[in-house]
Structure 1
Amino acid sequence: MNQPVTKVLVIGYVWPEPRSSAAGGHMMQILESFLTQGWDITFSSPATIGEHKADLPALGIAERTIELNNSSFDDFIRELAPDIVLFDRFMMEEQFGWRVEQCCPDALRVLETSDLQSLRDARHQRLKEQVKAQPDSDDFSALFAPALEDEFQRMADTDLAKREIAAIYRCDISLMISDVEIRLLTEQFKVPAALLHWCPLMLQPPTDAFAPFDDRAHFLSIGNFRHAPNWDAVLWMKHRLWPLIRQQLPGAQLHIYGAYTPPKATALHNQAQGFHVMNWAEDALQVMTAARICLAPLRFGAGIKGKLVDAMLCGTPSVTTPIGAEAMGDDQPWPGVIAQDAPALAAAAVALYQDRERWTRAQEHGRQLLARRYDQNIHGAALVECLERCRRNLAAHRRDNFTGGMLRHHAHKSTQYMSQWIEAKNRTL
């Protein structure tokens, strides 16, 4: 007798744009893992559709626009009757979690965290404090290697951390892209390990030969301009890092690509300085393959960095910071250089750009790292197995997560009443 097809409902914070952000790419990798199982997927979102949205119907994924604070969602989800509901970012769990529990109490609730936004925000605040106190300093080593206990102290009293970690508790499983963030949650916030599943970027490791050193030219930086760490990196490159590189390589060219390029970024374009703001790349892997070095001087952030995985996929060595490389590698050599201040980053970039032998070794390190850490076949199967195991033992799993049940009992009531009040208010306008 055939088993019924598993139905999955995804509630997206945005519609996935895999060519614009690592978060969009990761969502598509998750969806592909589900499609491989023959699961029936519906993707819904209250967001407006962006210009780079993935063609989900072409993959056999149904689409549905939903509204915030509107009981029409209740009728929709009751009719769909999903077995698994995946919330894309904790804000969607806050908005729709109580409705999912009320209408489909037996559905497995999964949170795709993307990265810990409360960690990213705490690091951003710490950077602002240092820049204000030491505006001329380019040494950020104190920011790049804090102990997890220090990260906890920074985050613990913030509203954002309380909201985000409460959502993790309320869900049955949370997908974590960074194993460093899993350690932070389990060791410092005391989140049970059973509520977390490590799900990094999932890729097919490259097998073809990479474009060699002599066929490459220029430096490349890439990233969605709406993502604050990327914009900060562009400004740091413009005012500090790139002038140091040009002093040593007067003819060097830096090409900066990113989705949703704002006028403030376009204004930084300066051909005489070799600083080229190129807007959005139709094919990010193509421009990455043409570059000799990927620059990713990130001073804050969280999760793992899609641009650095793309660099490895294209055989492009990277120069980045400890924040950029966090949770990306292991105890084997990094496919490029990691440095902590502008002079060191510039020196590393220039040396790697000119040293064919060292560059070629870094290229191969990237191939090896992808195979060890980001294999789609391994992580896709592990994700599906985790969700199916949790579904089989859902009652016991929820009973063991008493804190989550307690939070749902109290938080969902307040969220429910607020949402119903807003809906009633909107009907009277």
Structure 2
Amino acid sequence: MQKHLVIIGTVWPEPNSTAAGSRMLQLITLFQKQNFKITFLCSASKTDFSFDLEKLNIVTDSIELNSESFNNQIALLQPDVVLYDRFMTEEQYGWRVKEVCPNALTIIDTEDLHFLRKAREIAFKQNRELVFEDYISDVFKRELASIYRCDLSLIISEHEMKLLTQTFKVDATLLHYLPFLVDVINTNHPNFSERAHFVSIGNFLHEPNWQTVLQLKKLWKSIKKELPEAELHIYGAYATEKVFQLHNEKEGFLVKGRANSVGEVFSYARVLLAPIPFGAGLKGKLLESMQFGLPNVTSTIGAESMQFENLWNGFITDDEKDFVAKAIELYSDENLWNEFQQNGYAILENKFKTNLFQNEFSNKIDYLLNNLKEHRQQNFLGQVFQHQSLQSTKFMSKWIELKNKN
């Protein structure tokens, strides 16, 4: 009998706008390869950029926030597996799923660890090194509670796996490492001399992308001075007025807004600049730069958990002067550029190829579906966090529901 996966999304996937949107489509593909029937539920409105999930034979439906109508919806669907697209979605709906479908396997796709991103942002904005206390925020407590309440959490980066298992002693059986995935590695891209200009990309709903552009504004004049013909093209969905105010034709600092095609932009740019000051997870733009044969200059946080045997498809530096020097060197040296382009292809082949992860993921899901009771008995803390006295989100939701009725 065909198994049924219900995905509960905070937003409808936008693979051309966000790395999270691409990631969701990769997960859908993995489950479809396991012959799952899929339903996608979401309370947000669709936009012009939302992916048409019906094309993939996925049933979609909207859900009402803080409403018992969701209980009826999920009861009718009777899923074997429920996937939450981030921990906040689990907070909102997890207790309802547990009440109505207690035997459904529950999974969170963490996307990246929100508490880690938050801790780094605080340290960055206070202009200091991160200390352990920065981790222990409200976001940390909520995210960890969510991880314990679920049967499995998908972790996108090796650094985050290590942080959870070694620093915070989360049982490894509750976690599964699943990075971004690449099916086909195409090495036939425009060469060095067919490309021109620098590029930066990132959706502006994500604070690290805005901070990255501010860093670039600061560094660009020094690069432009040495390479007067070069321009820097800034792309990103959801750019606001403050982003467009940075546009300056004379400086060659050009804010372009949403890219129609990342492939087109990346195939004809010569170097990607990504001095990412904080963040977590894996950086979609850096994976895509490897896919389109585009070397980059980035920060330690940018390249985190993405190198293979110390190979990188460009330079990694956190020093501003060095960043400028490396950007100029990479833009000007064809032999170096070619070497780094090949490094990118090697990283994709050895670290992100779908076939490296597909079977293991499939086996994990099968194992949990067949041994769910035993798995849950071992997760003592999960049982503690399921206890109703700790479920403030449940009672807040019930209070809102009651208020709405009145």
**Alpha-carbon separation, structure 1, partners of 2:71 and 2:337:** 56
Which residue, out of 7, 11, 34, partners 1:10? 7
CA deviation after TM superposition for structure 1 residue 390, in Å:
1.3
The answer to whether residue 259 in structure 2 is matched with residue 281 in structure 1 is yes
Q: Which residue is 2:95 aligned to?
A: 98
The answer to whether the 8 A contact 1:202-1:380 is kept is no
Q: Give, in whole Å, the separation in 2 of the partners of 1:255 and 1:415.
A: 43
Match of 1:316 among 294, 309, 320: 294
Paired position in structure 2 for 1:40: 37
| Residue from 219, 226, 230 that aligns with 2:205 | 226
* 1:351 CA displacement: 0.1
Shift in Å, 1:153: 3.0
| Alpha-carbon distance, 1:411 to partner | 5.6
Equivalent residues in 2 for 1:247-326, closer than 5 Å: 247-326=225-304
Task: Provide the rounded CA distance (Å) in 2 between the counterparts of 1:316 and 1:393.
Answer: 45
Q: Is the contact between residue 187 and residue 345 of structure 2 (CA under 8 Å) also seen in structure 1?
A: no
Deviations 1:44-90 (A, max 9, x none): 11112233111100110111111111000000001000000001110
**Which residue of 23, 32, 57 maps to 1:26?**
23
Letter matched to residue 128 of structure 1: K
**In structure 2, what is the equivalent of residue 154 of structure 1?**
134
Q: Partner of 2:379 in structure 1?
A: 401
**Cα distance per residue 1:18-37 (max 9 Å; x no partner):** 11111111111000111122
In the TM superposition, residue 218 of structure 1 has moved relative to its aligned partner by 0.4
- Name the residue aligned to 2:105: 108
Unaligned runs of 5+ in 2: none
For 1:125, the equivalent position in structure 2 comes to: 122
| Whole-angstrom distance in 2 between the partners of 1:315 and 1:208 | 7
Q: Which amino acid is the alignment partner of residue 9 of structure 1?
A: V
Q: Distance in 2 between matches of 1:381 and 1:288?
A: 31
Q: Where does structure 1 lack aligned partners over 5 or more consecutive residues?
A: 131-141
* Helix, strand or coil at the partner of 2:83: strand
Q: Which residue of 2 aligns with 1:175?
A: 154
Q: Is the 8 A contact 1:292 1:316 kept in 2?
A: yes
Could you tell me which amino acid in structure 1 is paired with residue 108 of structure 2?
Answer: L
State the AA in 2 paired with 1:344: D
Deviations 1:205-246 (A, max 9, x none): 4144221111110001001011000000001111x2111111
Amino acid in the other structure paired with 2:22: G
- Contact 2:200 / 2:272 at 8 angstroms: preserved in 1? yes
1:243 to 217, 221, 243: 221
* Distance in 1 of aligned mates of 2:357 and 2:390: 32
Across the two proteins, how many residue pairs are aligned to each other?
Answer: 406
Asked if 1 retains the 8 angstrom alpha-carbon contact of 2:212 and 2:277, the reply is: yes
Match of 1:55 among 52, 55, 63: 52
Write out aligned runs for 1:404-419 (5 A).
404-410=382-388, 413-419=391-397
| Cα pair 1:298 1:321 within 8 Å, conserved | yes
Paired with 1:342 and 1:241, the residues of 2 have a C-alpha distance of: 7
User: Secondary structure at 1:273's aligned position in 2?
Assistant: coil
TM-score scaled by length of structure 1: 0.92
Aligned ranges 1:317-396 → 2 under 5 Å? 317-396=295-374
Distance 1:61 1:289, change over 3 A: same
CA distance in 2, matches of 1:362, 1:319: 11
Q: 1:382, 1:10 → 2: CA distance?
A: 21
Between the aligned partners of 1:236 and 1:345, the Cα distance in structure 2 is 11
Superposed CA deviations along residues 328-372 of structure 1, whole A, max 9, x for unmatched, are: 113232110001122111100100000000000000000000000
1:181 aligned partner, one-letter code: E
> In percent, how many aligned pairs have the same letter?
44
Q: What do residues 108-164 of structure 1 show as CA deviations (whole Å, max 9, x unaligned)?
A: 00000000111101101101111xxxxxxxxxxx75xx6xxx4x43212x1010001
Q: Say which SS state the counterpart of residue 272 (structure 1) adopts.
A: coil
In 2, Cα distance between equivalents of 1:411 and 1:388: 32
| Letter of the structure 2 residue corresponding to residue 178 of structure 1 | S
Which secondary structure does the structure 2 equivalent of 1:120 belong to? helix
- 1:416-427 aligned within 5 A: 416-427=394-405
Partner-residue secondary structure (3-state), 2:143: helix
Report the TM-score, using the length of structure 2 for normalisation. 0.98
My pick for the range that moved more, 325-334 or 213-222, is 325-334
Q: 1 CA distance for matches of 2:84 and 2:315?
A: 36
Q: 1:124 to 1:110 in 2, by over 3 A?
A: same
Question: Which of 65, 69, 73 in structure 2 is aligned with 1:68?
Answer: 65
Q: In 2, are the aligned partners of 1:205 and 1:374 still within 8 Å (CA)?
A: no
**Pairing 1:192–2:171 present:** yes
CA distance in 1, matches of 2:221, 2:366: 53
Is the CA contact (8 Å cut-off) linking 1:217 and 1:291 kept in structure 2?
A: yes
Do the aligned residues in 2 keep the contact of 1:42 with 1:63 (CA within 8 Å)? yes
What CA distance in whole angstroms lies between the structure 2 residues aligned with 1:269 and 1:222? 14
